[in-house]
Structure 1
Amino acid sequence: MEKFFGIARVLNKRGYCSRSQAEALVRNGRVSLNGKIVRNPETPTAKNAKIAVDGKLVLETAFVYFAMNKPRGIVTTASDEKGRKTVMDLLEGKMQQHVFPIGRLDKASEGLLLFTNDTAFADKILAPETHFEKEYHVCISREPTEEELTQMQKGVLVPPRIFGNSPEKMRMEKVRILRRGEKNCWIAVILHEGKNREIRRILQTFEIEVLRLIRVRIGNWTLGDLRPGEIRKMDKI
């Protein structure tokens, strides 16, 4: 039996635009389905239906996959209400297809960020049950003790980000010292889930300051020699 999806979702899956942009196009009467204008983003639509935006047919776009070295100070979002520079600004003029970042790196963090127009691939990367390892190299204000490293892997109770919520247990899958300096220390951290600011919040419980945080790997995809702001095409594995 043929499956039907909302027309906004089909537009998004064809790589034409984001889901929210597709919904706005439909509501504004700019989208036709099999020759007829529709205004409900949830209008049932077959995957191979004839869809046009402003009279131009929208065909299914080939899936693409890119890696970026996200610089520090850039936000991971399609647009920012505060007018800050986003990762999409760095892609301007470089992409023919609509792509989106897979997951996030906070503004103060840097390193490997994946982009695609393949929503199923993105969902697989982000799903906790798939256990894609995420590796980070972190420069911190002091060297942790062996006992602290062990506790980071066992888990610690982290204060809630929202007042009134209960403390949250967080842990690092693996953590080891990379190199020691006179005034700081670099550690390698592996996470499976990667909750909001998880590494920073865990280290904060030990009164350890994060000076720099770089994501260097997601699963089999690595940062390699990408310079800040650069992108490269990657293969889907």
Structure 2
Amino acid sequence: MPPRNRTSSRPQPARARQAGDGGHGLARVLSKLGYCSRSQGEALVREGRVRLDGRVVRDPEHRTHAATARIEVDGRPVRAEAPVLLMLNKPRGLVTTRDDPEGRETIYQCLDGLDLPHVSPVGRLDKASEGLLLLTNDTGLAQRLLDPASHVPKTYHVQIDRAADDALLAAIRAGVEDRGERLGVRSARWLREGTRSAWAEIVLDEGRNRHIRRLLAALGAQTLRLVRVSIGDLPLGDLPKGAVRPLTEAERALLERQA
């Protein structure tokens, strides 16, 4: 079942939030309005539970202009949710998805018991990675933060299975080619040095699938731990592992400026 569609004390109809949009598939519009995920929207549409301007539409890709459309699910009007932006300290071992076909635990167990609209992760952290993950129903902000053109830096603290040395650091900074992709970094420096392992701070302004792990593996180093500690100038801070909190207005404004 999709999340319950809530209305605040100042409900915002779809036309108020999405004026001037160029149109999207109906399932995607349901997701952009914060009603449900895109896959849930596709199922609702195919089941005939969604009406668009008074008629049932069964095509999830039916072109829909949310600025002018009247959308109902099970006879209830769908209204845009108030924007929600959350910070989660993702624990290791959880996958960054709502429904996992392999039955693995997901980040959404950290949201159990919270009265929230449908929120989606802004980017991903793989199962073995930890740290700062944003979740939101504001698809516009999410897209701007993820757009490579915005160059919003993301900072990671990474433990590797090798002692620190200048040659390895220089190679990390130079980047590598892997599977036809360029894996580069914005900056890198050593944080802590040991005889058998070391911690590095690596900053990316773009992120490919398993970017840091693949980069280090190509250089002969294994990633033991990978923790994202900031997005732009927004730090994870002392948020406990598995905890979630809403961003303050100042923090949200900071991200908006950087995106």
Question: What is the TM-score normalised by the length of structure 1?
Answer: 0.90
Letter in 2 for 1:220: D
Q: What is the match of residue 51 of structure 1?
A: 71
Alignment-derived partner of residue 235 in structure 2: 222
Residue 6 in structure 1 maps to residue 25 in structure 2: yes
The letter of the residue matching 2:144 is: K
Offset at residue 39 of structure 1 (A): 1.5
Shift of 1:188: 0.5
Letter in 2 for 1:105: L
Identity among equivalent pairs (%): 48
Q: Does 1:90 align with 2:103?
A: no
With 65-74 and 179-188 compared, the bigger mean Cα shift is at 179-188
Aligned to 2:8: none
Q: 1:3-60 CA deviation, whole Å, 9 max, x = no partner? A: 5443222211210001121121111110112332222223343324321111111111
Paired residue total: 230
Distance 2:215 2:24 in 1: 41
> Displacement, 1:119?
1.0
- Alignment gaps of 5+ in structure 2: 1-19, 254-259
After the TM superposition, list the runs of 4 or more consecutive aligned residues in structure 1 that deviate by more than 6 angstroms: none
Take 2:195 and 2:163, find their aligned partners in 1: how far apart are those partners? 10
Match of 2:125 among 83, 105, 130: 105
The AA in structure 2 aligned to 1:126 is L
For structure 1, the 5+ residue unaligned runs are 161-165
Identify the residue that residue 200 of structure 1 maps to in structure 2.
213
Corresponding residue number in structure 2 for 1:163: none
Structure having the higher helix fraction is 2
Structure 1 residue 182 displacement after superposition = 4.2
2:137 corresponds to which of 117, 127, 134: 117
Structure 1: distance between partners of 2:113 and 2:76:
22
The AA in structure 2 aligned to 1:36 is: R
Post-superposition offset of 1:104? 0.7
Structure 1 stretch 69-78 or stretch 35-44: which is displaced more?
Answer: 35-44
State yes or no: 1:38 paired with 2:57. Answer: yes
How far does residue 70 in structure 1 lie from its aligned partner after superposition? Answer: 0.5
Go from structure 1 to structure 2 and tell me whether the alpha carbon gap of 1:31 and 1:135 turns closer, same or farther (over 3 Å shift).
same
Q: Secondary structure at the match of 1:122?
A: helix
Distance between the aligned counterparts of 2:225 and 2:214, measured in 1?
A: 14
